Amino acid sequence: MDRIDIIKQRLYLFSYIVLMAASMLYMYSEFNSVDQLPEPGYVKMIWWAGISAFLVLQATLLLLNINDRIKMSCLIILVGLFALDVIGFKSINLQIICLSFLIMNRESVCFKKFIKVDFVTRLVCIALVLMMFFCGIFPSQYDVYVPRGDTIRSSLGFNHPNSFGGYCLYILISFLLFFYSTGRLQNLKKISNFFWFLLMFITGFFIEFVYADSRSSQVTFILMVLLIIPLVFNKNIKSFKPLLGIFILLIMTLTSVMVVFYYNQFSTFFVKLNDLTSNRLFLQNEAFKLFGFNLFNVSDFAQGNPIWVDNQYVYNLISTGVIGSLIYTYIYAKSFVNAHKANCYILYIVLIALIFKGSFESTLIDYYALLPIICSFFMVNKISMKQ
């Protein structure tokens, strides 16, 4: 690796760390809790400095990596999309723009290095949030325990127990991909490998079912456990065909939209389904009525203002319109194709499990949740996972 390649790698990893850390502080910590709005000014400054640094560094990397007109065209398009996002044109969002940069510049770093940095960064970020929480650094104590009936839930410095549960779930996903990249996941007969594997799942179970009690993360966790069992007993198990994952994605998307579109609050079936989803269907239907959707959605819709839409596929349609929704669906479907080409069973089942999480939350395109899609593009790169 020559000096230029080392510089590219460091720029890529540094910009990614900045994005993860700044988004954690600004979007997912207690600074962004429902009773602490607006966020402190210095937190906003950190976020905008962080996202600006990320975009500048990634744009610089793209220019350094440009070897044809296609990438130059992509850079121009991304700059245009960012400008449109700033002025309120919501058919694309900033997360997708960041994702596009990370995908196009992936040749700057090998997968094994990237996933290791990602895993360590997530551990450091959650450690800092927990430290700030227990040290009382946050400006106000957000409802640490959020009641759901008789259930006591904990957020421990995050802006909601669901955020806490979701972030910890992605730490587990990052750990699995890191373990896979080093070959340890394929060698669980070794006591030390099996110990760390079991410890992570026990810790994940404790957090998801005892502290956060996030049902969307619980469902995803259970699906991952069930689907990972075959890998434990057969390290050479092959990935499924991409058509299976794409089919599940399309069915879940169409079902989510159609159920909300035809929701009837006087129907016994829909009433029970709405109760099962903690009033999500009613709120999504209200958002449909209030904002609607079109090809290029330029509405004033904003998550939680005034309605929360806890379904990724319905949220995409309302927030970004038909075009934005199709872009997201294509990128996710492409991830299945990539995972199959790389014959990466563990990533494939993670992508499947997350589809079901998207039916309960609109967090699959959060900054901390972009990892599985990014990794799928790494795996079809010329650089092998085992390098």
Tell whether 263 is covered by a domain.
no
Q: Which residue range forms the structural domain that includes residue 87?
A: 3-244+321-379
Cα 48 to Cα 51, 98, 270, 277, 368: the distances in Å are 5, 14, 42, 35, 17
Residue 262, in any domain of the structure: no
Instruction: Encode pLDDT of 241-295 as tens digits.
Output: 999 999 999 999 999 999 998 999 889 999 999 988 888 899 898 888 888 777 7
| Average pLDDT estimate for 130-158 | 73
- Provide the pLDDT for residue 308: 78
User: How much of the chain exceeds pLDDT 70, in percent?
Assistant: 83
Average pLDDT over residues 61-79: 67
- The pLDDT of residue 230 is above 60: yes
pLDDT at 145 over 60: no
Q: CA-to-CA distance for 103 and 114, rounded, in angstroms?
A: 12
Name the band, by pLDDT with cuts 50, 70 and 90, for residue 382: very low
Using 50, 70 and 90 to split pLDDT, how confident is the model at 384? very low
Residue 302 lies in a domain: no
CA atoms of 6 and 44, how far apart (whole Å): 32
> pLDDT by residue (tens digit) across 189-221?
889 999 999 999 999 999 999 888 888 999 999
Using the predicted structure, report yes or no on whether residue 47 has a pLDDT greater than 70: yes
**Helix, strand, coil distribution of the chain in percent, nearest 5:** 70, 0, 30
9-18, 198-207, 321-330: least confident range: 321-330
Please report whether residue 106 resides in a domain: yes
Total domains present in the chain: 1
**Is residue 138 situated within a structural domain?**
yes
Is 185 part of any domain? yes
Answer whether 0.85 is exceeded by the pTM: yes
For residue 148, pLDDT beyond 80: no
Instruction: Say if 295 falls within a structural domain.
Output: no
DSSP 296: S
Burial of 300: CB neighbours in 10 Å, binned 0-12, 13-18, 19+: exposed
In a domain, 341, yes or no: yes
